[in-house]
Chain A
Amino acid sequence: MNTEASSSTLTPFYLPDFCTSRAALGVVLIVELTALILTLAHDSAALSFWSDLARSSVFLLWIGLAGAALLCGARDRLKKMPVAKGSTAVLALIVGLVVIVSEGTFLAGRSEFIESAGAGTLFPSDHWSFVGRNVGISFVVTSLALRYFYVTHQWRRNVEMQARARVHALQARIRPHFLFNSMNTIASLTRTDPARAELAVQDLADLFRANLSEKRNTITLEQEIEVAQIYQRIEHLRLGDRLRVIWNVAPLPKSALVPGLMLQPLLENAIYHGIEPRPNGGAVTVTGESSGGLITIVVRNPVQQCESEHEGNHLALANIRERLALMYGERALVKAGRFDDEYIVTLRFPHVESLAKLTA
């Protein structure tokens, strides 16, 4: 388990809240299962199976419920710790508790009250072997439980992230502004230049197909660049000479896999915020590089002097960032910001050509 890398991103802490009755029930269940395993494995001549199970259950319930109370009380502190440190602390707490309860049980077995009641056989006879074995067992069981909680937590987080990414993807769909302006352009072209109008309708159809596609989660870089260029073609009809896009993407590996609609929204942002507000237009530059197994794509556009950051821009970026993270984990990077009179977005992600490698 790569706790070091994920610790920074893993908030809140992965353990469930032991202060709830639901969690307490879970603890009782784990305790009883452990007691069952121990009793089944324990070949005791002195006691019947049921007595043995009852004895283990009582002992383990003490530990389980006291442990839950301990974790409930320490929750606020544990939450602030990174995963590795928090897990170690939980492990230490539980093992420490087991030592104390074991010691207490052993001493109780030696007390006069128990001796006189004739229940001495129910208690352990060998002091160090008893405590030592309990420490070992609690260490293994707690580790397993921690691992279980960690994995379920990660899984739930992933499900949530995917759901959120899907919502964002919906929101990031092509701007209505673009759709209606394109429709207007086509309406105009049908009279003046029917051939170009036809091309524009085909382009718009392709663009929407890419947008609505269910399989758009992963496509090749070549396909993605093509979608962006189709988009550029439609905008070009409308904006004419005001729009220039410079593509320096020859070094990019065509078959590398990327999340669909990663580049087109960036181009759309660059045109909407960078080119359209300028009376004389300007140039958007798309530069691609590939080296050391990493692909870098940089989109830059000129910005107005007193232009502030835009809501739509952030939404699109957040969406791309999330989808890249979903696909490549922490190996992907999205940077965006203003540098002098340019707005620059940088995407960096690993060069992967097969889905099998991606999930590995």
Chain B
Amino acid sequence: MKLRTLIVDDEAPARERLKSLLAELENTQIVGEAMNGEQALQLVVDLSPDVVLLDVRMPGMDGLEAAHHLSSLVEPPAVIFTTAYDEYAVNAFDAQAVGYLLKPIRKEKLVAALQQAGRLTRPQLQKLTAAGAGTEHRTHIAARHREGIRLIPIEEILFFLAQQKYTTVRHAKGEDLIEDSLRVLEEELGSQFVRIHRNALVNVRHLDAIDRNPEGQYTVRVRGSTDALQVSRRMAGELKERFRI
């Protein structure tokens, strides 16, 4: 059986080179190529390749973030990162024993990497992010659904609501469930979001109004949603301070 590979790189010559190298290998087959992280995720869902050759530095969603989202799939593909020069990423890959190739890629190294390629685990990915191998925070939140994953751009998210086991993401196009906890989300997206309650994290960009009812309870209204979100007594002070009210 042939190894089905997907090539992901924003630079056309880099994709060309990988294509010609892979074409020379007997037991591999190229199933597709993508120019950025978003495209890659879509193609992975559509084509379910065995291995993804993933460039680290790409505009929009970079390779590390794409790998994060891939790992939330039921059957994620193996990932091999490619990079021309990135000290941080390479050190992190070495530390986590993650497969990577340095451009210009040598054929022997490519063969070896394909043989050893494995899936990335969540702890590995978290350590890679912590080591600064990619951009500081995600550009998208991935929600798993029947046909694969839905990518929600951070700027389109109105708020997160914590439920018992999952977290609800309310966004411009509806609602989805994700597995990340509010604490993790707040740590990562801190500057763009504000915590208003133990169970709610709101996108500052979509904040519409802060109201106060006769009992002295604060609620928050968000553009694009009719819900009035409760502000806890503990968070009210911080909220007022942040918006100088």
Contact = CB atoms under 8 A, between A and B. Distances in A.
Interface of A: 175-177, 179-181, 183-189, 191-192, 237-240, 276-279
A187 B17 contact: yes
A186 to B, nearest CB: 8
B237 interface: no
Given A238-B11, A239-B11, A278-B59, A181 B84 contact: yes
B16 A188 contact: yes
Given A181-B103, A191-B16, 10 more contacts: A175-B85, A177-B84, A180-B85, A181-B85, A184-B84, A189-B13, A192-B20, A238-B14, A276-B57, A277-B59
A220 B172 CA distance: 55
In the complex, which of the residues B17, B35, B105 has the most CB atoms of chain A within 10 Å of its own CB atom? B17
Given A177-B85, A179-B85, A184 B59 contact: no
29 contacts: A176-B85, A179-B85, A180-B84, A180-B103, A180-B104, A181-B14, A181-B103, A184-B11, A184-B13, A184-B17, A184-B104, A184-B105, A185-B11, A185-B13, A185-B14, A188-B13, A188-B20, A188-B104, A191-B16, A191-B17, A191-B20, A192-B16, A237-B13, A238-B14, A239-B11, A277-B59, A279-B10, A279-B36, A279-B60
A188 B85 contact: no
B35 to A, nearest CB: 8
Contacts, number: 62
Interface string B62-104: 0000000000000000000000111000000000000000111
A186 B11 CA distance: 12
Nearest to B38: A279
A238 B17 CA distance: 12
A238 B59 contact: no
Interface string B21-65: 000000000000001100000000000000000000101100000
Contacts of A192: 13, 16, 20
Interface residues of B, number: 20
A240 B59 CA distance: 14
Nearest to B192: A306
B12 interface: yes
Contacts of B86: 177
A276 to B, nearest CB: 6
A192 to B, nearest CB: 6
In the complex, which of the residues A183, A185, A240 has the most CB atoms of chain B within 10 Å of its own CB atom? A185
A356 B35 CA distance: 53
A188 B14 contact: yes
B59 A187 contact: no
